[in-house]
Amino acid sequence: MFLVILGGFLMALADSVPGVSGGTIAFLIGIYDDFINSLNDIASRDKEKRMKAFKFLVKLGCGWIIGFCSAVLVITSVFEKNIYEISSLFLGFVLFSIPLIFVEEKESFKGKWYNAFWAIFGAAFVVAITYFSGDASATSLAWGEFDILGGIILFVGAMIAISAMVLPGISGSTILLVFGIYQPVMDAIDGFLHLEFKYVVGLCIFGVGIITGVFTTIKGLKVALDKARTATLYAIVGMMIGSLYSIVMGPTSLDTPKAAMNLDTFSLSSFLIGGGVIFGLQALKYFSAKKEEGKSE
């Protein structure tokens, strides 16, 4: 239970900033398949599957809500002030995790190197999304400050962003940047948490877009993992590789843009801490699995 709540918390922290995907965190902790299956099974006709999915998503959701509210209220400002240290930390997360994916999924990858093409495709896709995010323009979600077209953009952006958030390597926040609504959404959530109700309608449109994205994307992703797991995993690894570019370019997406990270602004200590966190999560995952095995015996 603790691992799932922690996973939700860390996923929210990742989802709240451009360049890192909550799906990556879920994959690293080892709850990605459970996450996708639960999203798929929540609408199942099988009552047992539906209840199991509901319990999992409630635990994950509790951690996610705590993490996202913390990010909006606190971490966003820290992120701006310490962008290079945090970007270096995220680089450590991703780089140290990629080899672990090959270790944990060795049976899926074994003898199927011809699927490596999908890694190239995944990396190129994420790099392209990040590159074009530079053309994003900002609006406001306050009532009366966006028109019908703005509402449509908000809905479609939310639908695609939540679809991206469940894919390791693709940052949903980066998708919001592409649509020019990242900062308006963050400002609206921050305003709502401070009881500014002028953002309610805009956030409702955003929420409906999220729900629509979940139910139109998850089914296809689950089928891909079930029917073409190796190709899908290669694409995921490629997306994670592509996210390295997103992380390096992250400082350019701030309210007050900064230069992309380079060797001078790279923080080795933060990078190593990121790697340490990944191995710590792996250790936590290992001991949690052992504990569950002990209970079942």
pLDDT of residue 38: 86
pLDDT tens digit sequence for 188-200:
888 888 888 899 9
pTM above 0.85, yes or no: no
pLDDT tens digit sequence for 89-124:
878 877 887 887 788 778 888 888 888 889 998 888
d(CA 189, CA 203): 8
More confident residue, 136 or 179: 179
* For the ranges 20-24, 55-59, 102-106, 171-175, the one whose mean pLDDT is highest: 55-59
- Positive or negative: CA dihedral 80, 84, 85, 86: positive
pLDDT of residue 4: 85
* Rg of the chain in Å (alpha carbons): 19
User: Is residue 241 over pLDDT 50?
Assistant: yes
Q: Which residue reads 């908000």 in tokens?
A: 154
Average pLDDT, the chain: 80
At 195 the three-state DSSP class reads coil
Mean pLDDT, residues 230-239 taken together: 85
User: Is residue 269 over pLDDT 90?
Assistant: yes
Mean pLDDT, residues 25-29 taken together: 75
